[in-house]
Amino acid sequence: MNAAIVGASGYGGEILVKLLAAHPKVTLKAVTSRSKAGQPVSAVIPAMRGALDDMLFEASDPQELAAREDIDVYFLALPHGAAAEYARHLVDAGKKVIDLSADFRISDPAIYEEFYGAPHPDVELLGRSVYVLPELTEDGWQEKDLFACPGCYPTSILIPLLPLLKAGVVSKQHIVANAYSGTSGAGKQSKEAFSFCEVNESVKAYGLPKHRHLSEIEEQLGMAAREKIVIQFNPHLAPMNRGIATTITVPSNGASIEQLYEVWNATYADKPFVFVLPQDQRPETKYVVGTNRVDISAVKDDRTGNFVITSAEDNLVKGASGQAIQILNLWQGWDETAGLV
């Protein structure tokens, strides 16, 4: 399959370039960036020296991209708002789109406007899209025109929590999720707050109490529980380049830790990118960075009756670009791990 990456100069775009350039079933035909147009890909992304020396960044014009006959699938690594404009032209031209932005992650336009501060940019196209968490989205999504790739924080919360909520082994109330992300999650921003001296040797909470990803998390949990779910989500900026570590505290609803693990083991038995760790082990970011894996484990606190669930992932791979390629693999019926291990 021939692929293009639109907006490939950010951190997520760079990971897409590296992964797709090495994918056994993909030919990377175009890499675009308005700010880098005309520059060699191997100069902007030095890791690609010797691999993409002849490829240049192209200008990002949605109409010109939609007219390309040599490209089958487009990955949109663009900010929210901008992605929808490209998606409209591409889908209308009969192309398949995998979107890494937030534009099509939330099915309710009113919730999108509440959390993103502007009306949804394309409500009609929203109805032709589908949110795809590869391990958990039910079959049938492959028939849609546009696939929305989940956010990094939501992936770290939904993978461990969603099947438990659906099975009824955890409470639907009093859920608290504390998550810690590396600074690459903020993208390539030239801001004082993200300079080395500001983030090194320091951890801080941000985006309280309504981080944008909360909308996506609560909507997906609500669909699983078949009722409105409200959680306390507390994101933090951690002094590391990559990775997300999340700790979720949730009342056990009377279930045992053995029942929790039974649900996880049944849900993820044949899922190559979710590793269920024993109760006495904790996921660590250093073991998942550079992989498309989520590690999860849990313990029960008999004093409080709560489950304490932990997860770890790479925010740029399983939290973004790797998951997008996982979606591509499943859509095409290829080996789910192609290009990812």
CA pair distance 122, 168, nearest whole angstrom? 35
- Sheet containing 231-237: which strands, arranged edge to edge? 204-205, 231-237, 175-181, 244-251, 306-313, 294-301, 274-276
CA pair distance 317, 339, nearest whole angstrom? 12
Per-residue pLDDT of the chain (341 residues; tens, 9 = 90+): 999 999 888 889 999 999 999 999 999 999 998 888 889 999 999 999 988 889 999 988 899 999 999 999 999 999 888 899 999 999 999 999 999 999 999 999 999 999 998 999 999 999 999 999 999 999 999 999 899 999 999 999 999 999 999 999 999 999 999 999 998 877 665 677 777 878 888 899 999 999 999 999 999 999 999 999 999 999 999 999 999 999 999 999 999 999 999 999 999 999 999 999 999 999 999 999 999 999 999 999 999 999 999 999 999 999 999 999 999 999 999 999 999 99
Q: Has residue 252 been placed in a domain? A: yes
Q: Has residue 337 been placed in a domain? A: no
Contact 195, 188 (CB under 8 A): no
Per-residue DSSP letters for 288-315? TTTSS-EEEEEEEETTTTEEEEEEEE-T
Same domain, 245 and 123: no
We report the CATH number of the domain holding residue 110 as 3.40.50.720
* Per annotation, catalytic residue among 6, 152, 263, 309: 152
* pLDDT score recorded for residue 252: 96
Same domain, 141 and 188: no
- Which tokens hold the place of 290? 């550079």
Q: Has residue 68 been placed in a domain? A: yes
Same domain, 291 and 158: yes
Q: Has residue 341 been placed in a domain? A: no
152 is catalytic: yes
Q: Has residue 236 been placed in a domain? A: yes
Same domain, 305 and 181: yes
Same domain, 25 and 51: yes
Same domain, 194 and 79: no
Q: Has residue 340 been placed in a domain? A: no
Same domain, 182 and 101: no
Q: Has residue 339 been placed in a domain? A: no
Write out the residue range of the structural domain in which residue 307 sits: 153-315
CA pair distance 167, 263, nearest whole angstrom? 7
CA pair distance 135, 148, nearest whole angstrom? 14
250: enclosing H helix or E strand: strand 244-251
For the entire predicted model, the pTM comes to 0.94
We report the CATH number of the domain holding residue 255 as 3.30.360.10
Same domain, 237 and 281: yes
Residue with tokens 């999108």: 112
Residue 275 pairs with which residues in a beta bridge?
Answer: 295
The domain tally of the chain equals 2
Same domain, 64 and 199: no
CA pair distance 209, 226, nearest whole angstrom? 24
- Which tokens hold the place of 85? 């404009």
Torsion angles phi and psi, residue 340, rounded to 5: -120, -5
Same domain, 169 and 267: yes
Same domain, 106 and 83: yes
* pLDDT score recorded for residue 330: 97
Q: Has residue 203 been placed in a domain? A: yes
Same domain, 8 and 112: yes
Residue 277: how many other CB atoms lie within 10 Å: 18
